[in-house]
A and B are shown apart, each in its own frame.
Chain A
Amino acid sequence: MSVTTALSQLANYRAHNIRASQRTFENGYRVLQKNAYQNLGDEEWTFLEQLALASIDVGRLEVADQCLQLLSEKFPDSPRVECLTGIRMEASSSPEIALKYYSELLEADSANAAIWKRKISVLRRTGKTEKTVSELCAFLDTFYTDVEGWLELGDLYAESCQYTLSLQALSHALLLAPQNPFYALQFAETAYTAGDIPLALKTFLMVVDMSDGDDSGISLAESTPLGITVRAWFGVKLCTRRLLGPSPQVQPSASGTSSPTSNNVALLDELATERLRVAYSSSAGVKGEIARGREEVFAWVA
């Protein structure tokens, strides 16, 4: 592969934010060895940053060091290079050294979001959940719009079985990205785990409502649910089963969500069964081919 194609592929990775570390490294290393990066103009530096990150990913630290060397010669005091240096440090040094480095940087510039996030991730990696949560809360209190941060916080809480708190964190993620069905699905699943069945049911239905149907013009009742919708239907089925079962199975909803009328629940149960049967009667998009796990699903929904 020529250097030009390698470079265009790398630029494509950058534009679409694709991590593909191994391929990035292979392409980038070829460019680096031929010194072709020097005539890239301003692209040179983003290229070096990309290659440095990828080579840390694949464990070729000496290449990363070479990139870092070039970058820090060009930008001696850049916060971006400092962040990269920190990541390089995390790769080989102990977390304590990296933490100390990040804390020093944050002392100099308390509002450096990238460094702050790195620090939180190192904290989480070392297993200091309590410290991580308090740092992350402080971070999100300042940079409210960081969806990743809220998801991470929700995950941390769920890990420590604090499902109500996890739901609260996820609700912020929902507010920030109301169009993303995956966050809603995570919210629904967390609500189900927390035992708030009516809330879970309604959120699963929201996911269904958001993600079903395409523009192909087939009526919904005839279409095959795909991807995330199937998972949401599974959730609906789980919830309706709990709601239809004997009453002690369902605790009162912690969020005060009223469950649908029993007639609607019965209809939803029927609908979910039907949808799951449709989803598993043929594997995604291929007519006639039977999906894997069909027997089990049919037995479960029956």
Chain B
Amino acid sequence: MSSSSAVSLYLDPQIRDWVLFPITLVMILVGVLRHYVVVLLQAIPKKQSRAAIREQRALTRCQILRATSANSPIPPSFYKTISQNLSEALKAGTYLKDGPPKADTPSTAPNPLSDPAAMDGMMAGMKTQMVMMVPQMVIMGWINFFFQGFVLIKLPFPLTLGFKSMLQRGIETPDMDVRWVSSLSWYFLNFFGLNGLYRLILGGDNSADSSRDMTVSPFASMGTAQPGQPQDFTKLYKAERDNLEFAEGLYNWVGQDIDTKVLRKYGKLLPISKQ
């Protein structure tokens, strides 16, 4: 039954010229335009003060120290000094941007809404969201208004019935072959599928692809630790101190038994297995 209906359907070539191609073209152009608008809207990254950088990078110091601790290039006395100094500094909060915390003020998580820097970050996110949402809504309205229920194209390969809701959105025909694609579905296919084309036109780091933004809301980033988002460094430092202590337990100097190692290497001492 479905095969007979496939034969019986004949699409006006004018649909191809005046609906199929325009929709695709408009979507590509809007994507390119959006890329340039986002580039224009992007605020220059704010310069951080010396103290803020120091606060952020204190953790890196600990990580660098810990990274080699199992085979550390530096001798024990040096390692212990660095490790303990860092640990004490983290405990006292020397690295905090606003200096060591006062004893009487209760430590509260920073409120992202009260910090102007964080607000800026959120506003920038919202702006890009708007640039993405508005044109997509306009295009979808345009398609819905003018081309509702249009069948635009026939896919050159057979598909199972499961694809019906994906390819024939907006047409309520239970018997039509799944290979026919409706206008609204064509819009969605373009919406999710044009990223590869944008990457060719605009390069890998483009902001034309709007389907990517659909998955993130402007507020989703608040919970996760993102650069530019407020972080509670007091807590991070506390965790890092535990890590430092742990690494100190693992510590081993690479030069501890280097003399026997080198002697074995040159055959002056017998290898371990033969001793």
Instruction: Name A residues whose Cβ lies closer than 8 Å to a Cβ of B.
Output: 109-111, 141-145, 167-168, 171-172, 174-176, 178, 184, 199, 201-203, 205-206, 208-209, 212, 220-221, 255-257, 260, 264-265, 267-268, 270-271, 275
Interface pair A175/B65, CB less than 8 Å apart: yes
A/B interface sample: 30 pairs, CB < 8 A: A111-B47, A111-B49, A144-B61, A168-B78, A171-B74, A171-B78, A175-B65, A175-B72, A175-B73, A178-B68, A178-B73, A184-B73, A201-B259, A202-B259, A205-B258, A205-B262, A206-B255, A208-B262, A209-B261, A209-B262, A212-B265, A220-B266, A255-B76, A256-B77, A257-B75, A260-B259, A264-B263, A267-B263, A267-B269, A271-B262
Tell me the bound Cα distance from A176 to B258 in angstroms. 21
Tell me the bound Cα distance from A176 to B260 in angstroms. 26
**Of B2-10, B50-58, B134-142, B206-214, which binds chain A?**
B50-58
Q: Which residues of A are found within 8 Å of B78, using beta-carbon distances?
A: 167-168, 171, 255
Q: From B81, which residue of chain A is reached at the shortest CB distance?
A: A168
Nearest-CB distance from A174 to chain B (Å)?
A: 4
Tell me the bound Cα distance from A260 to B258 in angstroms. 9
Given contacts A145-B64, A171-B78, A205-B255, contact A271 B54 (CB under 8 A): no
Task: Tell me if B217 is interfacial: C-beta within 8 Å of chain A.
Answer: no
Interface pair A111/B53, CB less than 8 Å apart: yes
Q: Which residues of B are found within 8 Å of A221, using beta-carbon distances?
A: 266-267
Nearest-CB distance from B271 to chain A (Å)?
A: 13
Nearest-CB distance from B44 to chain A (Å)?
A: 10
Interface pair B268/A267, CB less than 8 Å apart: yes
Q: From A196, which residue of chain B is reached at the shortest CB distance?
A: B75
| Other-chain contact of B259, A110, A172, A205 (Cβ < 8 Å) | A205
Nearest-CB distance from A172 to chain B (Å)?
A: 8
| Other-chain contact of B268, A145, A174, A270 (Cβ < 8 Å) | A270
Task: Tell me if B126 is interfacial: C-beta within 8 Å of chain A.
Answer: no
Tell me the bound Cα distance from A114 to B254 in angstroms. 34
Given contacts A171-B78, A267-B263, contact A202 B65 (CB under 8 A): no
Interface size class of B (residues with CB under 8 A): 35 or more
Task: Tell me if B60 is interfacial: C-beta within 8 Å of chain A.
Answer: yes
Q: Which residues of B are found within 8 Å of A110, using beta-carbon distances?
A: 49-50
Q: From B64, which residue of chain A is reached at the shortest CB distance?
A: A175
Tell me the bound Cα distance from A184 to B268 in angstroms. 24
Task: Tell me if B48 is interfacial: C-beta within 8 Å of chain A.
Answer: yes
Interface pair B266/A144, CB less than 8 Å apart: no
Task: Tell me if B82 is interfacial: C-beta within 8 Å of chain A.
Answer: yes
Given A184-B73, A205-B259, A220-B267, list of 20 further CB < 8 A pairs? A109-B47, A110-B49, A111-B52, A141-B54, A143-B53, A144-B57, A145-B64, A168-B78, A172-B82, A174-B73, A199-B75, A203-B255, A205-B258, A205-B261, A208-B262, A209-B265, A257-B75, A257-B77, A270-B268, A271-B266
Task: Render B227-265 as a binary contact track against A, CB cut-off 8 A, 1 for contact.
Answer: 000000000000000000000000000111011111101
Tell me the bound Cα distance from A142 to B267 in angstroms. 47
Task: Render B31-68 as a binary contact track against A, CB cut-off 8 A, 1 for contact.
Answer: 00000000000000001111011100100110011001
Nearest-CB distance from B222 to chain A (Å)?
A: 25
Nearest-CB distance from B161 to chain A (Å)?
A: 53
Tell me the bound Cα distance from A221 to B265 in angstroms. 8
| Other-chain contact of A142, B54, B65, B81 (Cβ < 8 Å) | B54
Q: From A202, which residue of chain B is reached at the shortest CB distance?
A: B255
Q: Which residues of B are found within 8 Å of A202, using beta-carbon distances?
A: 75, 255-256, 258-259
Nearest-CB distance from A84 to chain B (Å)?
A: 19
Interface pair A209/B53, CB less than 8 Å apart: no
Tell me the bound Cα distance from A174 to B47 in angstroms. 30
Tell me the bound Cα distance from A145 to B58 in angstroms. 11
Nearest-CB distance from A67 to chain B (Å)?
A: 25
Interface pair A264/B47, CB less than 8 Å apart: no
Interface pair B263/A268, CB less than 8 Å apart: yes
Q: Which residues of A are found within 8 Å of B255, using beta-carbon distances?
A: 202-203, 205-206
| Other-chain contact of A145, B60, B258, B261 (Cβ < 8 Å) | B60
Tell me the bound Cα distance from A109 to B44 in angstroms. 15
Q: Which residues of B are found within 8 Å of A271, using beta-carbon distances?
A: 262-263, 266, 268
Q: From B76, which residue of chain A is reached at the shortest CB distance?
A: A256
Interface pair B74/A206, CB less than 8 Å apart: no
Q: From A270, which residue of chain B is reached at the shortest CB distance?
A: B268
Q: From A116, which residue of chain B is reached at the shortest CB distance?
A: B50
Q: Which residues of B are found within 8 Å of A264, using beta-carbon distances?
A: 259-260, 263, 269
Q: Which residues of A are found within 8 Å of B259, using beta-carbon distances?
A: 201-202, 205, 260, 264-265, 268
Most B CB within 10 A of own CB, among A144, A175, A206, A271: A175
Q: Which residues of B are found within 8 Å of A144, using beta-carbon distances?
A: 57, 60-61, 64
Interface pair B77/A255, CB less than 8 Å apart: yes
Shortest beta-carbon contacts, A-B, top 10? A202-B255, A260-B259, A110-B50, A178-B73, A171-B74, A205-B258, A174-B73, A255-B77, A171-B78, A142-B54
Interface pair A176/B268, CB less than 8 Å apart: no
Given contacts A142-B54, A202-B258, A221-B266, contact A175 B49 (CB under 8 A): no
Q: Which residues of A are found within 8 Å of B68, using beta-carbon distances?
A: 175, 178
Q: Which residues of B are found within 8 Å of A171, using beta-carbon distances?
A: 74-75, 78, 82
Tell me the bound Cα distance from A103 to B188 in angstroms. 57
Interface pair B48/A111, CB less than 8 Å apart: yes
Tell me the bound Cα distance from A9 to B76 in angstroms. 47
